[in-house]
Structure 1
Amino acid sequence: MAWQQITVITDEQTAPEVAELFSDLGAVSVTYMDAEDEPVYEPAIGETKIWSNTEVIALYEMDTDLKAVSARVHQSFDANLLRDWRQEQIEDQAWERAWMEYYRPMKFGDKLWVCPTGQEQHEPGTVCMLLDPGLAFGTGTHPTTALCLEWLAARDLTGKTVIDYGCGSGILAVAAVLLGAKVAHAVDIDPQALTATLSNAEKNAVQDKILVYLPEQLPKMRADIVLANILAKPLCDLSERISDLAVAGGALVLSGILAEQTAQVEDAYRALIELNAPTQQEDWIRLDGLRR
Protein backbone atom coordinates (compact mmCIF):
# COMPACT_ATOMS: atom_id res chain seq x y z
CA MET A 1 0.00 0.00 0.00
CA ALA A 2 1.29 3.47 -0.87
CA TRP A 3 0.63 6.82 0.77
CA GLN A 4 0.83 10.49 -0.15
CA GLN A 5 2.93 12.72 2.06
CA ILE A 6 3.07 16.50 2.44
CA THR A 7 6.02 18.13 4.20
CA VAL A 8 6.26 21.83 5.04
CA ILE A 9 8.48 23.92 7.31
CA THR A 10 6.99 26.66 9.48
CA ASP A 11 7.62 28.36 12.82
CA GLU A 12 6.72 27.04 16.26
CA GLN A 13 3.66 29.31 16.60
CA THR A 14 2.18 28.27 13.26
CA ALA A 15 3.04 24.56 13.33
CA PRO A 16 0.15 23.47 15.60
CA GLU A 17 -2.36 25.38 13.45
CA VAL A 18 -0.99 23.84 10.25
CA ALA A 19 -1.06 20.38 11.82
CA GLU A 20 -4.64 20.85 12.96
CA LEU A 21 -5.73 21.92 9.47
CA PHE A 22 -3.96 18.90 7.93
CA SER A 23 -5.90 16.67 10.33
CA ASP A 24 -9.17 18.44 9.52
CA LEU A 25 -8.45 17.81 5.84
CA GLY A 26 -8.22 14.05 6.37
CA ALA A 27 -4.59 13.32 7.25
CA VAL A 28 -4.20 9.85 8.76
CA SER A 29 -1.21 11.10 10.76
CA VAL A 30 0.62 14.36 11.39
CA THR A 31 4.17 14.45 12.75
CA TYR A 32 6.51 17.20 13.93
CA MET A 33 10.23 17.05 13.11
CA ASP A 34 13.10 19.39 13.88
CA ALA A 35 14.02 21.31 10.70
CA GLU A 36 17.36 22.68 11.95
CA ASP A 37 18.96 20.12 14.30
CA GLU A 38 17.90 22.09 17.38
CA PRO A 39 18.59 19.87 20.42
CA VAL A 40 15.78 19.07 22.84
CA TYR A 41 16.63 17.36 26.09
CA GLU A 42 13.73 17.80 28.45
CA PRO A 43 10.20 18.54 27.28
CA ALA A 44 7.89 18.66 30.26
CA ILE A 45 5.76 15.61 30.97
CA GLY A 46 2.83 15.66 28.55
CA GLU A 47 4.38 18.43 26.41
CA THR A 48 4.70 18.12 22.64
CA LYS A 49 7.96 19.83 21.72
CA ILE A 50 7.76 22.23 18.78
CA TRP A 51 11.02 23.64 17.46
CA SER A 52 11.77 27.19 16.29
CA ASN A 53 11.67 25.86 12.75
CA THR A 54 9.44 22.82 12.63
CA GLU A 55 8.83 20.40 9.80
CA VAL A 56 5.18 19.33 9.74
CA ILE A 57 4.63 16.03 7.94
CA ALA A 58 1.13 14.90 6.97
CA LEU A 59 0.30 11.47 5.60
CA TYR A 60 -2.74 10.95 3.36
CA GLU A 61 -4.37 8.00 1.63
CA MET A 62 -3.76 7.67 -2.10
CA ASP A 63 -7.23 8.75 -3.14
CA THR A 64 -6.89 12.12 -1.37
CA ASP A 65 -6.86 15.19 -3.62
CA LEU A 66 -3.62 16.86 -2.52
CA LYS A 67 -4.22 19.82 -4.83
CA ALA A 68 -7.30 20.63 -2.80
CA VAL A 69 -5.40 20.16 0.46
CA SER A 70 -2.60 22.43 -0.75
CA ALA A 71 -5.03 25.11 -1.92
CA ARG A 72 -6.86 25.13 1.41
CA VAL A 73 -3.66 25.36 3.47
CA HIS A 74 -2.19 28.12 1.32
CA GLN A 75 -5.44 30.06 1.55
CA SER A 76 -5.31 29.83 5.33
CA PHE A 77 -1.71 30.91 5.97
CA ASP A 78 0.64 33.59 4.73
CA ALA A 79 2.92 32.14 2.05
CA ASN A 80 5.98 33.34 4.00
CA LEU A 81 5.05 30.94 6.81
CA LEU A 82 4.99 27.87 4.53
CA ARG A 83 8.52 27.03 3.39
CA ASP A 84 9.85 24.09 1.38
CA TRP A 85 6.43 22.61 0.60
CA ARG A 86 6.93 19.08 -0.75
CA GLN A 87 4.56 16.35 -1.91
CA GLU A 88 5.65 12.78 -2.54
CA GLN A 89 4.42 9.22 -2.67
CA ILE A 90 5.90 6.77 -0.18
CA GLU A 91 5.60 3.02 -0.15
CA ASP A 92 4.32 1.21 2.89
CA GLN A 93 6.51 -1.35 4.62
CA ALA A 94 6.63 -3.45 7.75
CA TRP A 95 8.42 -0.79 9.76
CA GLU A 96 9.13 -2.95 12.81
CA ARG A 97 10.62 -5.79 10.78
CA ALA A 98 12.65 -3.37 8.64
CA TRP A 99 14.09 -1.78 11.79
CA MET A 100 14.94 -5.21 13.16
CA GLU A 101 17.37 -5.79 10.30
CA TYR A 102 19.66 -3.55 12.35
CA TYR A 103 18.74 -5.02 15.75
CA ARG A 104 21.02 -7.84 16.86
CA PRO A 105 21.46 -9.82 20.10
CA MET A 106 23.15 -7.78 22.83
CA LYS A 107 24.88 -9.09 25.93
CA PHE A 108 24.98 -7.20 29.22
CA GLY A 109 27.47 -8.28 31.83
CA ASP A 110 28.06 -12.02 32.02
CA LYS A 111 24.45 -13.09 32.51
CA LEU A 112 21.95 -11.27 30.31
CA TRP A 113 21.18 -11.46 26.59
CA VAL A 114 18.56 -9.23 24.94
CA CYS A 115 17.57 -10.71 21.60
CA PRO A 116 14.98 -10.19 18.84
CA THR A 117 12.70 -13.11 18.10
CA GLY A 118 14.46 -15.74 16.04
CA GLN A 119 17.93 -14.76 17.25
CA GLU A 120 17.84 -16.24 20.74
CA GLN A 121 21.13 -16.99 22.49
CA HIS A 122 21.43 -20.06 24.72
CA GLU A 123 24.83 -19.59 26.29
CA PRO A 124 25.28 -21.59 29.52
CA GLY A 125 24.98 -19.49 32.66
CA THR A 126 22.99 -16.73 30.96
CA VAL A 127 19.35 -15.78 30.54
CA CYS A 128 17.88 -14.56 27.26
CA MET A 129 15.19 -11.91 27.06
CA LEU A 130 13.14 -11.78 23.87
CA LEU A 131 12.39 -8.21 22.89
CA ASP A 132 11.16 -6.80 19.56
CA PRO A 133 10.49 -3.17 18.65
CA GLY A 134 6.95 -2.27 19.58
CA LEU A 135 4.66 0.22 21.26
CA ALA A 136 7.03 1.82 23.75
CA PHE A 137 10.62 2.95 24.01
CA GLY A 138 13.26 0.57 25.32
CA THR A 139 15.19 -2.14 23.49
CA GLY A 140 18.57 -1.88 25.21
CA THR A 141 20.24 -0.13 22.29
CA HIS A 142 20.22 3.29 23.97
CA PRO A 143 22.92 4.02 26.58
CA THR A 144 20.36 5.01 29.23
CA THR A 145 18.78 1.55 29.09
CA ALA A 146 22.07 -0.27 28.60
CA LEU A 147 23.50 1.32 31.74
CA CYS A 148 20.59 -0.03 33.78
CA LEU A 149 20.77 -3.49 32.21
CA GLU A 150 24.47 -3.69 32.98
CA TRP A 151 23.77 -2.79 36.61
CA LEU A 152 21.10 -5.50 36.87
CA ALA A 153 23.28 -8.13 35.19
CA ALA A 154 26.05 -7.51 37.72
CA ARG A 155 23.85 -8.21 40.78
CA ASP A 156 22.35 -11.20 42.51
CA LEU A 157 18.64 -10.43 42.24
CA THR A 158 17.41 -13.70 43.72
CA GLY A 159 14.22 -13.07 45.69
CA LYS A 160 14.41 -9.28 45.34
CA THR A 161 11.42 -6.98 44.84
CA VAL A 162 11.83 -4.35 42.13
CA ILE A 163 10.04 -1.16 41.10
CA ASP A 164 10.65 0.02 37.52
CA TYR A 165 9.51 3.67 37.61
CA GLY A 166 9.00 4.88 34.04
CA CYS A 167 8.98 1.37 32.61
CA GLY A 168 8.52 2.13 28.88
CA SER A 169 8.66 -1.27 27.17
CA GLY A 170 9.16 -3.03 30.52
CA ILE A 171 12.66 -4.13 29.55
CA LEU A 172 14.12 -3.48 33.00
CA ALA A 173 11.26 -5.14 34.85
CA VAL A 174 11.40 -8.23 32.62
CA ALA A 175 15.21 -8.40 32.86
CA ALA A 176 15.06 -8.19 36.66
CA VAL A 177 12.61 -11.09 36.90
CA LEU A 178 14.58 -13.23 34.43
CA LEU A 179 17.66 -12.57 36.56
CA GLY A 180 15.91 -13.86 39.67
CA ALA A 181 13.77 -11.08 41.14
CA LYS A 182 10.68 -12.29 42.96
CA VAL A 183 8.38 -9.61 41.54
CA ALA A 184 8.68 -6.40 39.53
CA HIS A 185 6.21 -3.51 39.76
CA ALA A 186 6.25 -1.50 36.51
CA VAL A 187 5.01 2.11 36.57
CA ASP A 188 4.47 4.55 33.70
CA ILE A 189 2.33 7.60 32.91
CA ASP A 190 1.56 6.18 29.44
CA PRO A 191 -1.04 3.37 29.31
CA GLN A 192 0.57 2.21 26.04
CA ALA A 193 3.79 1.56 27.95
CA LEU A 194 1.91 -0.66 30.38
CA THR A 195 0.42 -2.58 27.44
CA ALA A 196 3.91 -3.05 25.98
CA THR A 197 5.27 -4.17 29.35
CA LEU A 198 2.57 -6.83 29.74
CA SER A 199 3.18 -8.01 26.18
CA ASN A 200 6.92 -8.35 26.77
CA ALA A 201 6.33 -10.07 30.10
CA GLU A 202 4.10 -12.64 28.39
CA LYS A 203 6.62 -13.12 25.56
CA ASN A 204 9.20 -14.02 28.21
CA ALA A 205 6.80 -16.14 30.30
CA VAL A 206 7.14 -13.93 33.39
CA GLN A 207 3.69 -12.30 33.32
CA ASP A 208 2.84 -13.80 36.72
CA LYS A 209 5.72 -11.86 38.31
CA ILE A 210 5.16 -8.42 36.75
CA LEU A 211 2.45 -5.98 37.85
CA VAL A 212 1.76 -2.71 36.02
CA TYR A 213 0.41 0.61 37.30
CA LEU A 214 -0.18 4.19 36.35
CA PRO A 215 1.60 6.32 38.99
CA GLU A 216 -1.60 7.15 40.85
CA GLN A 217 -2.48 3.44 41.01
CA LEU A 218 0.75 2.29 42.63
CA PRO A 219 -0.08 1.10 46.15
CA LYS A 220 2.01 2.26 49.08
CA MET A 221 5.01 -0.05 49.05
CA ARG A 222 8.77 -0.22 49.19
CA ALA A 223 11.08 -2.40 47.14
CA ASP A 224 14.61 -3.75 47.47
CA ILE A 225 15.55 -2.13 44.15
CA VAL A 226 14.09 0.97 42.47
CA LEU A 227 14.98 1.69 38.84
CA ALA A 228 14.11 5.06 37.30
CA ASN A 229 15.24 5.48 33.70
CA ILE A 230 13.48 8.73 32.81
CA LEU A 231 15.03 12.21 32.43
CA ALA A 232 16.95 14.55 34.73
CA LYS A 233 14.16 17.05 35.36
CA PRO A 234 11.50 14.51 36.41
CA LEU A 235 14.17 12.66 38.39
CA CYS A 236 14.84 15.86 40.33
CA ASP A 237 11.15 16.79 40.65
CA LEU A 238 10.30 13.29 41.93
CA SER A 239 13.41 12.72 44.06
CA GLU A 240 11.53 12.30 47.34
CA ARG A 241 8.84 10.14 45.75
CA ILE A 242 11.33 7.86 43.99
CA SER A 243 13.64 7.59 46.99
CA ASP A 244 10.75 6.73 49.28
CA LEU A 245 9.94 3.70 47.12
CA ALA A 246 13.12 1.95 48.33
CA VAL A 247 13.48 0.17 51.65
CA ALA A 248 16.16 1.49 54.00
CA GLY A 249 19.42 0.22 52.57
CA GLY A 250 17.69 -0.57 49.27
CA ALA A 251 19.27 0.23 45.93
CA LEU A 252 18.29 3.11 43.63
CA VAL A 253 19.38 3.22 39.99
CA LEU A 254 18.83 6.51 38.15
CA SER A 255 19.33 6.92 34.40
CA GLY A 256 18.37 9.21 31.53
CA ILE A 257 20.86 11.82 32.73
CA LEU A 258 23.14 13.76 30.40
CA ALA A 259 26.69 14.20 31.68
CA GLU A 260 26.22 17.94 32.20
CA GLN A 261 23.11 17.27 34.32
CA THR A 262 24.89 14.96 36.77
CA ALA A 263 25.49 17.55 39.49
CA GLN A 264 21.87 18.72 39.67
CA VAL A 265 20.57 15.15 39.99
CA GLU A 266 23.21 14.34 42.60
CA ASP A 267 22.15 17.43 44.55
CA ALA A 268 18.50 16.32 44.46
CA TYR A 269 19.30 12.87 45.87
CA ARG A 270 22.38 13.38 48.05
CA ALA A 271 20.44 13.79 51.30
CA LEU A 272 18.35 10.70 50.54
CA ILE A 273 20.78 8.32 48.83
CA GLU A 274 24.38 7.36 49.49
CA LEU A 275 25.51 7.74 45.90
CA ASN A 276 28.32 5.88 44.17
CA ALA A 277 30.53 7.52 41.56
CA PRO A 278 28.67 8.13 38.27
CA THR A 279 28.94 5.57 35.48
CA GLN A 280 29.09 7.01 31.96
CA GLN A 281 28.34 5.61 28.50
CA GLU A 282 28.69 8.05 25.62
CA ASP A 283 27.00 11.30 26.77
CA TRP A 284 24.80 9.58 29.36
CA ILE A 285 25.21 8.95 33.08
CA ARG A 286 23.87 6.37 35.51
CA LEU A 287 23.72 7.22 39.21
CA ASP A 288 23.19 4.49 41.74
CA GLY A 289 23.45 4.05 45.48
CA LEU A 290 21.72 2.94 48.65
CA ARG A 291 18.84 4.63 50.44
CA ARG A 292 19.89 6.18 53.71
Structure 2
Amino acid sequence: MDQDDVSQSTDEICISSIFPEVEDISVSILHAADSIGLKEIPRYEVKICEEDDWMKRSQESLHPVQVTEGLWVVPQWCTPPDVQATNIIVNPGLAFGTGEHATTKLCLLLLHGCIKGGEHILDYGTGTGILAIAALKFGASFAVGVDVDSEAIASASQNASLNNIRPDKMQLHLITSETSSSSKDDSTFGVMERENTYEIQTITTYCAKFDVVIANILLNPLMDLADQIISYAKPGAVVGLSGVLSEQVQYIIERYSPFLEDIKVSKMDDWACVSGRKRIYLNVR
Protein backbone atom coordinates (compact mmCIF):
# COMPACT_ATOMS: atom_id res chain seq x y z
CA MET A 1 0.00 0.00 0.00
CA ASP A 2 1.59 3.26 -1.10
CA GLN A 3 0.34 6.47 0.45
CA ASP A 4 3.40 8.58 -0.41
CA ASP A 5 2.68 8.86 -4.12
CA VAL A 6 -0.79 10.27 -3.58
CA SER A 7 -1.56 13.90 -2.89
CA GLN A 8 -2.15 14.52 0.81
CA SER A 9 -5.29 16.46 -0.11
CA THR A 10 -7.07 13.23 -1.05
CA ASP A 11 -8.11 10.12 0.84
CA GLU A 12 -6.84 7.78 -1.88
CA ILE A 13 -4.49 4.89 -1.25
CA CYS A 14 -2.68 2.98 -4.00
CA ILE A 15 -2.54 -0.80 -3.61
CA SER A 16 -0.32 -3.11 -5.64
CA SER A 17 -1.31 -6.78 -5.84
CA ILE A 18 0.11 -9.81 -7.61
CA PHE A 19 -2.21 -12.22 -9.44
CA PRO A 20 -1.59 -15.41 -11.40
CA GLU A 21 -2.20 -15.10 -15.13
CA VAL A 22 -5.34 -17.24 -14.97
CA GLU A 23 -6.97 -14.97 -12.40
CA ASP A 24 -10.01 -12.92 -13.49
CA ILE A 25 -8.76 -9.62 -12.06
CA SER A 26 -11.96 -7.68 -12.68
CA VAL A 27 -13.95 -10.22 -10.65
CA SER A 28 -11.38 -10.15 -7.84
CA ILE A 29 -11.50 -6.35 -7.65
CA LEU A 30 -15.30 -6.40 -7.74
CA HIS A 31 -15.37 -8.80 -4.77
CA ALA A 32 -12.84 -6.67 -2.89
CA ALA A 33 -14.88 -3.52 -3.51
CA ASP A 34 -18.09 -5.23 -2.40
CA SER A 35 -16.43 -6.52 0.79
CA ILE A 36 -15.79 -2.95 2.02
CA GLY A 37 -18.97 -1.40 0.67
CA LEU A 38 -17.58 0.57 -2.29
CA LYS A 39 -20.31 1.55 -4.74
CA GLU A 40 -17.91 1.86 -7.68
CA ILE A 41 -15.00 -0.30 -8.79
CA PRO A 42 -11.73 1.57 -8.13
CA ARG A 43 -9.53 2.63 -11.04
CA TYR A 44 -6.87 0.06 -11.79
CA GLU A 45 -4.26 -0.89 -14.37
CA VAL A 46 -2.78 -4.29 -15.15
CA LYS A 47 0.90 -4.86 -15.86
CA ILE A 48 2.31 -8.18 -17.06
CA CYS A 49 5.38 -9.08 -14.98
CA GLU A 50 8.15 -11.44 -15.92
CA GLU A 51 8.21 -14.87 -14.34
CA ASP A 52 9.97 -14.85 -10.99
CA ASP A 53 10.59 -17.20 -8.10
CA TRP A 54 8.57 -15.25 -5.54
CA MET A 55 9.24 -17.75 -2.76
CA LYS A 56 12.99 -17.48 -3.31
CA ARG A 57 12.80 -13.69 -3.42
CA SER A 58 10.75 -13.68 -0.22
CA GLN A 59 13.29 -15.93 1.50
CA GLU A 60 16.18 -13.73 0.42
CA SER A 61 14.49 -10.73 2.04
CA LEU A 62 14.31 -12.41 5.47
CA HIS A 63 17.30 -12.46 7.79
CA PRO A 64 17.92 -13.49 11.42
CA VAL A 65 16.34 -11.02 13.85
CA GLN A 66 17.72 -10.31 17.31
CA VAL A 67 14.75 -9.57 19.53
CA THR A 68 16.85 -8.97 22.64
CA GLU A 69 20.19 -10.17 23.93
CA GLY A 70 20.30 -13.97 23.73
CA LEU A 71 17.07 -14.25 21.71
CA TRP A 72 16.99 -14.64 17.93
CA VAL A 73 14.36 -15.52 15.34
CA VAL A 74 16.14 -17.33 12.52
CA PRO A 75 14.73 -18.29 9.09
CA GLN A 76 15.12 -21.99 8.40
CA TRP A 77 17.55 -21.35 5.53
CA CYS A 78 19.92 -19.19 7.64
CA THR A 79 22.64 -20.13 10.11
CA PRO A 80 21.97 -18.84 13.66
CA PRO A 81 24.37 -15.94 14.38
CA ASP A 82 24.68 -17.11 17.99
CA VAL A 83 24.38 -20.85 18.51
CA GLN A 84 24.37 -20.36 22.29
CA ALA A 85 21.32 -18.08 22.18
CA THR A 86 17.66 -19.08 22.30
CA ASN A 87 17.06 -19.49 18.56
CA ILE A 88 13.51 -19.80 17.25
CA ILE A 89 13.68 -21.37 13.78
CA VAL A 90 10.86 -20.39 11.42
CA ASN A 91 9.74 -21.09 7.90
CA PRO A 92 6.86 -18.62 7.59
CA GLY A 93 5.27 -20.05 4.45
CA LEU A 94 2.05 -18.07 3.99
CA ALA A 95 1.49 -17.33 7.68
CA PHE A 96 2.21 -14.22 9.77
CA GLY A 97 5.11 -14.22 12.20
CA THR A 98 8.74 -13.90 11.08
CA GLY A 99 10.03 -11.92 14.06
CA GLU A 100 10.57 -8.78 11.99
CA HIS A 101 7.26 -7.05 12.77
CA ALA A 102 7.13 -4.83 15.84
CA THR A 103 4.06 -6.57 17.30
CA THR A 104 5.78 -9.97 17.14
CA LYS A 105 8.84 -8.53 18.89
CA LEU A 106 6.67 -6.89 21.56
CA CYS A 107 4.89 -10.19 22.25
CA LEU A 108 8.19 -12.09 22.37
CA LEU A 109 9.57 -9.59 24.88
CA LEU A 110 6.42 -9.90 26.99
CA LEU A 111 6.69 -13.69 27.02
CA HIS A 112 10.42 -13.54 27.71
CA GLY A 113 9.74 -11.42 30.79
CA CYS A 114 6.70 -13.17 32.25
CA ILE A 115 7.45 -16.88 31.82
CA LYS A 116 9.20 -18.30 34.87
CA GLY A 117 8.77 -22.01 34.09
CA GLY A 118 5.96 -24.58 33.89
CA GLU A 119 3.23 -22.29 32.52
CA HIS A 120 0.41 -23.27 30.17
CA ILE A 121 0.19 -20.86 27.21
CA LEU A 122 -2.55 -20.01 24.70
CA ASP A 123 -1.42 -18.35 21.47
CA TYR A 124 -4.65 -16.93 20.03
CA GLY A 125 -4.06 -16.33 16.31
CA THR A 126 -0.91 -18.39 16.21
CA GLY A 127 0.18 -17.76 12.59
CA THR A 128 3.60 -19.39 12.22
CA GLY A 129 3.40 -20.58 15.83
CA ILE A 130 6.36 -18.38 16.74
CA LEU A 131 4.93 -17.17 20.07
CA ALA A 132 3.84 -20.62 21.27
CA ILE A 133 7.22 -22.07 20.29
CA ALA A 134 9.06 -19.21 22.00
CA ALA A 135 7.04 -19.69 25.18
CA LEU A 136 8.04 -23.35 25.32
CA LYS A 137 11.69 -22.48 24.75
CA PHE A 138 11.46 -19.94 27.58
CA GLY A 139 10.32 -22.68 29.95
CA ALA A 140 6.55 -23.06 29.57
CA SER A 141 5.43 -26.66 29.87
CA PHE A 142 2.49 -26.67 27.44
CA ALA A 143 1.20 -24.46 24.62
CA VAL A 144 -1.90 -24.34 22.47
CA GLY A 145 -2.09 -22.39 19.21
CA VAL A 146 -5.35 -21.54 17.47
CA ASP A 147 -5.98 -19.87 14.11
CA VAL A 148 -8.72 -19.44 11.49
CA ASP A 149 -6.35 -20.26 8.62
CA SER A 150 -5.36 -23.83 7.75
CA GLU A 151 -2.16 -22.49 6.12
CA ALA A 152 -1.19 -21.05 9.50
CA ILE A 153 -1.89 -24.35 11.25
CA ALA A 154 0.25 -26.20 8.72
CA SER A 155 3.03 -23.61 9.08
CA ALA A 156 2.92 -23.71 12.88
CA SER A 157 3.08 -27.51 12.86
CA GLN A 158 6.10 -27.46 10.56
CA ASN A 159 7.83 -24.85 12.71
CA ALA A 160 7.16 -26.87 15.86
CA SER A 161 9.01 -29.76 14.21
CA LEU A 162 11.88 -27.48 13.15
CA ASN A 163 12.29 -26.49 16.81
CA ASN A 164 12.02 -30.07 18.10
CA ILE A 165 8.74 -29.35 19.88
CA ARG A 166 6.87 -32.58 20.59
CA PRO A 167 3.12 -32.82 19.83
CA ASP A 168 2.38 -33.44 23.51
CA LYS A 169 3.96 -30.05 24.29
CA MET A 170 2.16 -28.02 21.61
CA GLN A 171 -1.34 -28.56 20.26
CA LEU A 172 -2.86 -26.73 17.29
CA HIS A 173 -6.52 -26.02 16.63
CA LEU A 174 -8.26 -24.71 13.52
CA ILE A 175 -11.07 -22.34 14.44
CA THR A 176 -13.81 -22.26 11.84
CA SER A 177 -14.86 -18.78 10.79
CA GLU A 178 -17.50 -17.51 8.38
CA THR A 179 -14.95 -15.07 6.96
CA SER A 180 -12.09 -17.56 6.84
CA SER A 181 -10.80 -18.76 3.49
CA SER A 182 -9.37 -21.89 5.10
CA SER A 183 -10.20 -25.20 3.53
CA LYS A 184 -9.96 -28.63 5.10
CA ASP A 185 -9.52 -29.99 1.59
CA ASP A 186 -5.95 -28.72 1.62
CA SER A 187 -3.85 -31.87 1.39
CA THR A 188 -1.04 -30.58 3.59
CA PHE A 189 -3.44 -29.54 6.29
CA GLY A 190 -5.19 -32.91 6.08
CA VAL A 191 -1.98 -34.56 7.28
CA MET A 192 -1.48 -31.94 9.99
CA GLU A 193 -5.06 -32.31 11.17
CA ARG A 194 -4.66 -36.02 11.82
CA GLU A 195 -1.26 -35.69 13.46
CA ASN A 196 -1.27 -32.57 15.54
CA THR A 197 -4.63 -30.78 15.62
CA TYR A 198 -7.98 -31.39 17.24
CA GLU A 199 -11.61 -30.56 16.68
CA ILE A 200 -12.38 -27.03 17.83
CA GLN A 201 -15.01 -28.25 20.28
CA THR A 202 -12.20 -29.47 22.53
CA ILE A 203 -11.06 -25.84 22.97
CA THR A 204 -14.01 -25.32 25.32
CA THR A 205 -12.32 -27.67 27.78
CA TYR A 206 -9.56 -25.08 28.16
CA CYS A 207 -11.81 -22.48 29.81
CA ALA A 208 -9.81 -20.65 32.52
CA LYS A 209 -6.90 -23.06 32.13
CA PHE A 210 -4.01 -20.90 30.86
CA ASP A 211 -1.39 -19.02 32.85
CA VAL A 212 -0.63 -16.80 29.85
CA VAL A 213 -2.93 -15.87 26.97
CA ILE A 214 -1.40 -13.92 24.09
CA ALA A 215 -3.32 -12.59 21.09
CA ASN A 216 -1.38 -10.83 18.35
CA ILE A 217 -4.17 -10.21 15.84
CA LEU A 218 -5.93 -6.92 14.96
CA LEU A 219 -8.02 -4.27 16.68
CA ASN A 220 -11.48 -5.39 15.52
CA PRO A 221 -11.16 -9.09 16.46
CA LEU A 222 -9.52 -8.11 19.75
CA MET A 223 -12.55 -5.95 20.50
CA ASP A 224 -15.16 -8.43 19.27
CA LEU A 225 -13.59 -11.51 20.89
CA ALA A 226 -12.60 -9.98 24.23
CA ASP A 227 -14.93 -12.18 26.30
CA GLN A 228 -13.73 -15.33 24.54
CA ILE A 229 -10.04 -14.44 24.83
CA ILE A 230 -10.37 -13.63 28.53
CA SER A 231 -12.37 -16.80 29.22
CA TYR A 232 -9.29 -18.95 28.55
CA ALA A 233 -7.15 -17.19 31.16
CA LYS A 234 -6.95 -18.29 34.77
CA PRO A 235 -7.66 -15.64 37.41
CA GLY A 236 -4.36 -13.82 37.82
CA ALA A 237 -3.08 -14.97 34.42
CA VAL A 238 -1.06 -12.67 32.17
CA VAL A 239 -2.97 -11.53 29.09
CA GLY A 240 -1.10 -9.89 26.21
CA LEU A 241 -2.89 -8.12 23.36
CA SER A 242 -1.13 -6.83 20.26
CA GLY A 243 -1.58 -6.14 16.57
CA VAL A 244 -2.83 -2.63 17.32
CA LEU A 245 -1.43 0.79 16.50
CA SER A 246 -0.38 3.12 19.31
CA GLU A 247 -3.35 5.37 18.52
CA GLN A 248 -5.73 2.41 19.06
CA VAL A 249 -4.50 1.54 22.54
CA GLN A 250 -7.23 3.57 24.23
CA TYR A 251 -9.93 1.35 22.73
CA ILE A 252 -8.21 -1.84 23.92
CA ILE A 253 -7.74 -0.46 27.44
CA GLU A 254 -11.39 0.63 27.63
CA ARG A 255 -12.61 -2.76 26.35
CA TYR A 256 -10.38 -4.89 28.60
CA SER A 257 -10.30 -2.80 31.79
CA PRO A 258 -13.25 -4.71 33.32
CA PHE A 259 -11.22 -7.93 32.90
CA LEU A 260 -7.64 -6.84 33.59
CA GLU A 261 -5.66 -5.08 36.31
CA ASP A 262 -2.09 -3.75 36.38
CA ILE A 263 -2.44 -2.82 32.70
CA LYS A 264 0.81 -1.89 30.97
CA VAL A 265 1.53 -0.67 27.44
CA SER A 266 4.76 -1.24 25.50
CA LYS A 267 5.35 0.40 22.12
CA MET A 268 7.63 -0.05 19.12
CA ASP A 269 7.51 1.63 15.69
CA ASP A 270 3.97 3.03 16.17
CA TRP A 271 2.69 -0.42 17.26
CA ALA A 272 1.67 -1.40 20.77
CA CYS A 273 1.19 -4.35 23.10
CA VAL A 274 -1.25 -4.05 25.99
CA SER A 275 -0.84 -6.48 28.87
CA GLY A 276 -2.32 -7.06 32.30
CA ARG A 277 -3.43 -9.72 34.74
CA LYS A 278 -6.91 -11.20 34.76
CA ARG A 279 -8.87 -9.94 37.71
CA ILE A 280 -9.75 -12.44 40.42
CA TYR A 281 -13.21 -10.91 40.53
CA LEU A 282 -14.31 -9.54 37.18
CA ASN A 283 -15.94 -6.11 37.07
CA VAL A 284 -18.56 -7.01 34.48
CA ARG A 285 -22.27 -6.35 34.49
Q: Does the pair score TM above 0.5?
A: yes
CA distances 1:149-179 after superposition (whole Å, capped 9, x unpaired): 1112223341110000011111101111111
SS at match of 1:278: strand
Structure 1's 227 and 84: CA in aligned 2 closer, same or farther, altered over 3 A? closer
Separation of aligned partners in 2, 1:282 and 1:238: 25
Separation of aligned partners in 1, 2:165 and 2:19: 40
* Alignment correspondent of 1:210: 170
* Alignment correspondent of 2:9: none
* Residue 90 of structure 2 corresponds to residue 90 of structure 1: no
* Alignment correspondent of 1:171: 130
Amino acid at match of 1:176: A
* Alignment correspondent of 2:111: 152
* Residue 21 of structure 2 corresponds to residue 60 of structure 1: yes
TM-score normalized with structure 1 length: 0.70
Does the 8 Å CA contact 1:104/1:119 hold for their aligned counterparts?
no
Number of residue pairs the alignment of both structures matches: 232
Structure 1's 54 and 116: CA in aligned 2 closer, same or farther, altered over 3 A? closer
CA distances 1:221-253 after superposition (whole Å, capped 9, x unpaired): 120000000111111111111111111111001
Deviation at 1:121, TM superposition (A): 3.7
Deviation at 1:86, TM superposition (A): 4.0
Does the 8 Å CA contact 1:104/1:116 hold for their aligned counterparts?
yes
* Residue 245 of structure 2 corresponds to residue 284 of structure 1: no
Name which of 253, 256, 259 aligns with 1:266: 253
Name which of 222, 225, 230 aligns with 2:217: 230
SS at match of 2:20: strand
Separation of aligned partners in 2, 1:174 and 1:82: 42
SS at match of 1:185: strand
Amino acid at match of 1:184: A
Which has the greater radius of gyration? 1
Amino acid at match of 1:141: E
Deviation at 1:83, TM superposition (A): 5.5
Name which of 131, 141, 145 aligns with 2:90: 131
Separation of aligned partners in 2, 1:127 and 1:56: 36
Deviation at 1:81, TM superposition (A): 7.1
Cα RMSD after superposing both structures: 3.0
Separation of aligned partners in 1, 2:87 and 2:16: 40
Does the 8 Å CA contact 2:266/2:273 hold for their aligned counterparts?
yes
SS at match of 1:261: helix
Separation of aligned partners in 2, 1:230 and 1:181: 22
SS at match of 2:103: helix
Amino acid at match of 2:236: G
Kindly indicate which of the two structures has a greater share of residues assigned to strand. 1
Name which of 62, 69, 79 aligns with 1:110: 69
Deviation at 1:36, TM superposition (A): 9.0
Question: Structure 1: which 5+ residue stretches go unaligned?
Answer: 1-32, 39-50, 62-68, 71-79
SS at match of 2:114: coil
Amino acid at match of 2:147: D
Separation of aligned partners in 1, 2:230 and 2:134: 21
* Alignment correspondent of 1:24: none
* Alignment correspondent of 1:11: none
Separation of aligned partners in 2, 1:81 and 1:289: 44
Separation of aligned partners in 2, 1:181 and 1:130: 17
Amino acid at match of 1:110: E
SS at match of 2:277: strand
Structure 1's 271 and 82: CA in aligned 2 closer, same or farther, altered over 3 A? closer
Deviation at 1:220, TM superposition (A): 2.2
1:16-95 correspondence runs (5 A): 58-60=19-21, 85-93=45-53, 95=54
Name which of 193, 210, 216 aligns with 2:152: 193
Does the 8 Å CA contact 1:109/1:154 hold for their aligned counterparts?
no
